[in-house]
Amino acid sequence: MFYLSELEHSLRVPPHLLNLPLEDAIKSVLQNVFLDKVLADLGLCVSVYDIKSIEGGFVLPGDGAATYKVGFRIVVFRPFVGEVIAAKFKESDANGLRLTLGFFDDIYVPAPLMPKPNRCEPDPYNRKQMIWVWEYGKPLEDFIIDDSCQIKFRVESISYPSVPTERAEDAKPFAPMVVTGNMDEDGLGPVSWWDSYEQIDQEE
């Protein structure tokens, strides 16, 4: 889920940071540039791990900032296809679920990858939301998918959409990285579903 990636970047250290130790000043600039940003095919940058090299330090005429070429390592969030992750419920509609890890919210489980058989019905407490229900057992029992516990999903794909040139006024905020999840397998979905079955097996 998390990886160390080595990058190289040329940056300006503004005058107000030059009173700091050089590595601290450079790390502050790197954090402003990279943290919470998505790099295509690399992932979401969550932390500057360390600085490997610093070159330069020259000041351009008419500019009070020092310019450096920096080699550094950064921690990125990039799940792999097939990985099972526990997330939290964020919202749901007729198209499926949206899940969150707290630091990353663009996880979607589309309707075709929901546990089957299922049904989708209006949420009586939230008109903007739908409730997904897994129907299982003989006789059929309803297992509701909500925010009562963590939800496990298997990563189906990771995509890095291109920035749209035009957007409708009612369009959702652009997501530079989207994780598509699958919940239609044993052991996936709200963890409470499977905890109860483990307790039954132990009793038997």
In which element (H, E) is residue 26 found?
A: helix 22-34
Show Cβ contacts of residue 71 under 8 Å, excluding neighbours closer than 6 positions. 6, 7, 8, 51, 52, 53, 54
Place of tokens 């489980």: 109
pTM of the model: 0.85
Question: Which of the residue ranges 5-9, 106-110, 163-167 would you say has the lowest mean pLDDT?
Answer: 163-167
What is the 8-class DSSP label of residue 185? S
* Digit-coded pLDDT (tens) for 174-193: 899 999 999 999 999 999 98
Q: How confident is the model at residue 200 (pLDDT cuts 50, 70, 90)?
A: very low
> How many whole angstroms separate alpha carbon 54 and alpha carbon 68?
7
What is the 8-class DSSP label of residue 34? H
* Digit-coded pLDDT (tens) for 6-15: 999 999 999 8
Q: Which two tokens stand for residue 95?
A: 């198209």
> How many whole angstroms separate alpha carbon 192 and alpha carbon 149?
7
Could you tell me what percent of the chain has a pLDDT over 90? 71
> How many whole angstroms separate alpha carbon 12 and alpha carbon 15?
9
